[in-house]
Amino acid sequence: MDKKWEIPIVLAGATLITVLFHKQHLGLNLFLLESGLLAWLVISEPSKFRHGYLLPCGIGLLISSVFTILTHSIFCYIIHFLALFLFVGILIYPQAKSLINTMGLSFSNSVKSQVRFAKDLSGLKVNGRNTGSILWKSRIFIIPMILIVVFVVIYSLANPVFNRLLSDVFSSIDEFLNRIFKNFDFSIVGTFIVGLIISNFLILRTSNQKIIQRDLASSDELTRNKRKIYRNFRTVALKNEYKAGIFLLLVLNAILLIVNVIDINWVWFNFKWEGQYLKQFVHEGTYLLILSILISIVLVLFFFRRNLNFYRNNKLLRYMSYLWLAQNAVLTISVAIRNLYYIRYFSLAYRRIGVIIFLILTLYGLFTVFMKVRNRKSTFYLFRTNAFALYIVLIISSIINWDTMIAKYNFNHAYSSFLHLDFMAALSDKSLPYLDKPMDELSEIDKFQKQKFPYEVKYMSPEIYYMVIQQRKKSFVAKWESKNFLEWNLPEYSAYRKLKGGASR
């Protein structure tokens, strides 16, 4: 970009952001802004999209942008802004090998781009002179102005007549300014400043050579660290480390085999639910097992971090590691089955969905550790592949309307699973048509729930739930009808149409 056009384009971007977002909720406005940005990038810098991650991450950004309108969930917006943040880092250095390094570039740019704007602004010429130079020379007036204020305060405190005169002057000035700015919205200034910061970040992209050099020096392939000195000592140390690894993995594999056999027998095939909460079975048990899987991955990485990868007689250690990883995969499946039992008897919830997503990533992580050990890959390879897998899974999971899915599933299974009305009443507005149930249906569900789940804990009654949902419906309809077209989104529009259609029947 030509340097002389940087400031005008940044200011135009900040103005556009102000127009689209001032006193507006996120909706169609975000999609319009970002589709314009992507179109401008494709036209102005098409060559960049031929490199590495830029094209797939650009597609991911576009998909997540579309689904902020089609899904319109907080989770979707969070993932989308992370995708945008990452995308800016890739634009700075399209040849990057790892998304982790591009994230670092984006963090660096969030500060450097603001500094660059300040420097560019100070370099602007006014009547042939730099604005920075003008501001610097004007500092000579700061001390006199401070002294004037000090003496005015002293004289006003010492002389009542002067104080009244000063008050009259300030009152006249205040009245004059109020008349001028009577209809001026000062919040627009704050919106413009935020828009300027965002515009700097998106347009004045600034690289960080340290991060780029680190990325260039990284490799998927593991290299052998050869040392000439203390050779005999190093060989003995390597053999001892190998023996320690064999002993540890042999014992741990035996213990985990017992755990897996118990889980396969008890959890996979012979589990019987007897009305209990499943708190220990799922909550504590799941989190502890997930922790053990993560520690297991770190353990394998520890033994295969350096020259033990190139030790000639390390076959047994490799096979023990493969067995250890395979057993941890079985353990992961056991955790998934526990979670599915929880969903079956206690319905869908955010954390239960989150556990499923996490376990998918865990299985992929175990596979990449296996590939690292088998093919002598570096730790950089692990971070690179798992970071991209995380990106893909998060993008896919963000396009699903989870609240509507939860509302539909939980009410459809209200005669077989526990229905937590407190949780259901807190789901987002777009799920209101599926939360809105007649009082007689809620009463029937409540009778079944009390018979199958006679817990001492008091949950929201169907009467209170009904009142809450009816009040939320009225509030939502009024809020939607007052929205600007820039705030439009499909799920809330569909919810509004369903609710209005239901009200008219």
pLDDT digits (tens, 9 = 90+) for 311-339: 566 788 888 888 989 999 998 998 899 88
pLDDT at 38: 86
3-state DSSP assignment of residue 127: coil
**260/333 same-domain check:** yes
**276/356 same-domain check:** yes
Tell me, yes or no, whether 391 lies in a domain.
no
Report whether pLDDT(232) > 50: no
**436/467 same-domain check:** yes
Tell me, yes or no, whether 67 lies in a domain.
yes
Tell me the range of 108-122, 143-157, 165-179, 293-307 where mean pLDDT is highest. 108-122
**66/136 same-domain check:** yes
Tell me, yes or no, whether 395 lies in a domain.
no
Mean pLDDT within 63-86:
94
**Regarding predicted confidence, which is higher, 379 or 435?**
435
Mapping DSSP onto H, E and C, the string for 35-46 reads HHHHHHHHHHCH
Phi, psi of 347 (to 5 degrees): 70, 180
The boundaries of the domain holding residue 319 are 238-377
Tell me the range of 208-222, 242-256, 471-485 where mean pLDDT is highest. 471-485
Tell me, yes or no, whether 393 lies in a domain.
no
**CA–CA distance, 503 with 505 (Å, rounded to integer):** 6
In percent, how much of the chain has pLDDT > 70?
85
**CA–CA distance, 465 with 468 (Å, rounded to integer):** 5
**70/145 same-domain check:** yes
Tell me, yes or no, whether 397 lies in a domain.
no
Report whether pLDDT(498) > 60: yes
**339/426 same-domain check:** no
Mean pLDDT within 388-399:
94
**301/418 same-domain check:** no
pLDDT at 29: 93
**CA–CA distance, 431 with 434 (Å, rounded to integer):** 6
Mean pLDDT within 64-79:
94
In percent, how much of the chain has pLDDT > 90?
44
**Among candidate residues 373, 282, 286, the one with its CA nearest the CA of residue 326:** 373
Q: Using alpha carbons only, how large is the chain's radius of gyration in Å?
A: 31
Which tokens go with 420?
Answer: 């937590």
Unique residue bearing structure tokens 């989870």? 402
**141/24 same-domain check:** yes
**184/257 same-domain check:** no
Residues pairing with 126 in the sheet: 129
Residues pairing with 129 in the sheet: 126
Burial class of 5 by CB neighbour count within 10 A (0 to 12, 13 to 18, 19+): exposed
**280/407 same-domain check:** no
Beta strands 129-130 and 125-126 are: antiparallel
Q: Are 126 and 139 in contact (CB under 8 A)?
A: no
The residue from 377, 411, 438 where one domain ends is 377
Tell me, yes or no, whether 229 lies in a domain.
no
- pLDDT grade, residue 504 (50/70/90)? very low
pLDDT at 227: 55
DSSP character at residue 221: B
**203/245 same-domain check:** no
Residue 434 CB: number of other CB atoms within 10 A?
21
**CA–CA distance, 75 with 97 (Å, rounded to integer):** 27
pLDDT digits (tens, 9 = 90+) for 332-356: 998 899 889 889 998 999 989 998 9
Mean pLDDT within 262-266:
89
Mapping DSSP onto H, E and C, the string for 115-168 reads HHHHHHHHCCEECCEEHHHHHHHHHHHHHHHHHHHHHHHHHHHHCHHHHHHHHH
Phi, psi of 399 (to 5 degrees): -90, -5
> How far is Cα of residue 327 from the mean position of the Cα atoms in its chain?
31
C-alpha angle 379/383/385, rounded to 5°? Answer: 110
Lowest mean pLDDT among 28-37, 89-98, 154-163, 468-477: 154-163
pLDDT at 184: 66
**CA–CA distance, 219 with 222 (Å, rounded to integer):** 7
pLDDT at 283: 64
pLDDT digits (tens, 9 = 90+) for 394-428: 999 999 999 999 999 999 999 999 999 999 999 99
Report whether pLDDT(135) > 60: no
Tell me, yes or no, whether 390 lies in a domain.
no
The residue from 164, 186, 220 where one domain ends is 220
Give the count of domains, the chain: 3
The residue from 160, 186, 220 where one domain ends is 220
pTM of the model: 0.82
Report whether pLDDT(138) > 70: no
**CA–CA distance, 170 with 401 (Å, rounded to integer):** 56
Tell me, yes or no, whether 31 lies in a domain.
yes
**331/463 same-domain check:** no
